[in-house]
Each structure stands twice: as C-alpha cells, then as structure tokens.
Amino acid sequence: MTMAEVGFLGFDVFGTVVDWRAGVARKSEPFLRSKGLDVDPLTFADEWRSRYDPAMEEVRAGRRPWVRLDVLNRENLEQVLRRHGLDPATVPAAELHALNLAWQELDPWPDAVEGLTRLKRRFAIGPLSNGHLAGMMRLARFGGLPWDVIVGAEIARSYKPQAQTYLRSAEAVGLAPTQVGMVAAHNNDLKAARECGLHTVFVRRPLEHGAGQRSDLNAEQDWDIVADSLVAAADALGC
C-alpha cells in the first residue's frame, strides 16, 4: 500500500507519543508519601493503567453511557486507592483532582517532538486517541506537541478499537479513511484502523510498560511503515 494519498496522520498518544508510566509515577509519588502508602510509584501507575481498558469496555459494550476518559481515570484512581486501604472519601477532592491531572502532564518520548515537527511538514497531524479533548489540549501544551487538530474518542463518542472512533475522526478532518494514517505503538490499534481502511505506522515503544514489557515489542502484521521512533518514521515518510 502507498501512503501518497494520506493527508492526515492520527496518533495514539498514551504510550506512542508520551511516556505515561514515568509521568504518572512522578505525579503519584508525593501523594503516596503524604498519605503514608508504601506503594512503589511505578507499580501504582501500572495498577491505575490496568483499569483503563476494562473501564472503557463498559462504555464500548453499552453497559454504561458515554463518559470522557478523565471521568474513567478518576473512578479508576479511587478503586486503586481503596485497594491500598485508603478511602477516597477521606481525601480532599482537590487533591484527587490534582492527582488525576497526572494524565495531562506527561513527558513526550525523547524523539516525539522532533518527529512530530518533521511529520507536520508533509501531513496534518493530531491525536486520534481515547483521551478527551481538554486533556489532549493540556497535554500538548505541557509537552510542546505541535498538533493541528484533535480528534478521537470524544469526537466520535466511542473508544478505540471501535470502528466509529477511526471513521468519525476521518470524517471530522474531511478525509476518506484511505487518506488517513494511524500511528501507534500498539498492534491492536493498528489492526482496527486497517480494518476501517486507514494506513498504518507502527512505532516500537519497548519500554512503555517498563523493562519487563512483553507486549507490542514487534510488528505483528505488515504495517505500511515500521519504525523505532517518530524520527525514524519521519525518515521513512520522507519528512
């Protein structure tokens, strides 16, 4: 397949563009210490993230109405705190809100800003993420991410890998699915995007889940582009 017709690149953000694990751990560490919780911040980040997909599945399956990701993250945070013996009702709401903002204060991977800036020379670019619009905006300002537009879950009112998330995002930028490329570090994301007609760019992030990561270490299909960084993706795409 050729990407000559592509006019927009949509990006998975959490894991592909930003290092969610280190950022959430950094923001969680002082909170955990202040509450006397003997939990490794990286373990806490992993536990919080582990509830991410099951929470979205409740929406995808129609068992609850559409809600934004920040709402799900807050609910998941409270579940993790309870697991460690802390009743969220005893914590000032402002503190829980501030901790939930960890997902909007994540550092880009070292190659991300350069790679995005180069890709932007040829393509319009933006998140095609499960994140909500305000969160993506704040994350972009925090990390200097040069998006042209934000699409994804809140635009579509559905969560990846549901087809409408990709299709309605393509519609929102005025392009056919075949004119959109999905950039992700997750094979399942790319598989769903390809099934909708999108082009695919796989970027390896072998440390997204830490040194013991076992998933998404390699491309599982013949994606259009396979790269070890966003800079390498820009090289492959002639940017």
3-state per-residue secondary structure call for the chain: CCCCCCCEEEECCECCCECHHHHHHHHHHHHHHHCCCCCCHHHHHHHHHHCHHHHHHHHHCCCCCCCCHHHHHHHHHHHHHHHCCCCHHHCCHHHHHHHHHHHHCCCECCCHHHHHHHHCCCCEEEEEECCCHHHHHHHHHHHCCCCCCCEEHHHHCCCCCCHHHHHHHHHHCCCCHHHEEEEECCHHHHHHHHHCCCEEEEECCCCCCCCCCCCCCCCCCCCCEEECCHHHHHHHCCC
pLDDT tens column, 188-224: 999 999 999 999 999 999 999 999 999 999 999 999 9
Whether 141 is in a domain gets the answer: yes
Q: Domain ends where: 58, 76, 104?
A: 104
Whether 62 is in a domain gets the answer: yes
Please indicate, yes or no, whether residues 77 and 193 belong to a single structural domain of this protein.
Answer: no
Please indicate, yes or no, whether residues 25 and 14 belong to a single structural domain of this protein.
Answer: no
Candidates 154, 158, 165, 229; CA nearest to 198 is: 165
pLDDT tens column, 33-78: 999 999 999 999 999 999 999 999 999 999 999 999 999 999 999 9
Whole-structure pTM value:
0.95
CATH number at residue 156: 3.40.50.1000
CATH number at residue 91: 1.10.150.240
Whether 3 is in a domain gets the answer: no
Whether 40 is in a domain gets the answer: yes
Whether 119 is in a domain gets the answer: yes
| Domain that includes residue 141, residue range | 8-19+106-236
Whether 1 is in a domain gets the answer: no
Domain count, the chain: 2
Q: Domain ends where: 84, 104, 124?
A: 104
Whether 179 is in a domain gets the answer: yes
Please indicate, yes or no, whether residues 45 and 79 belong to a single structural domain of this protein.
Answer: yes
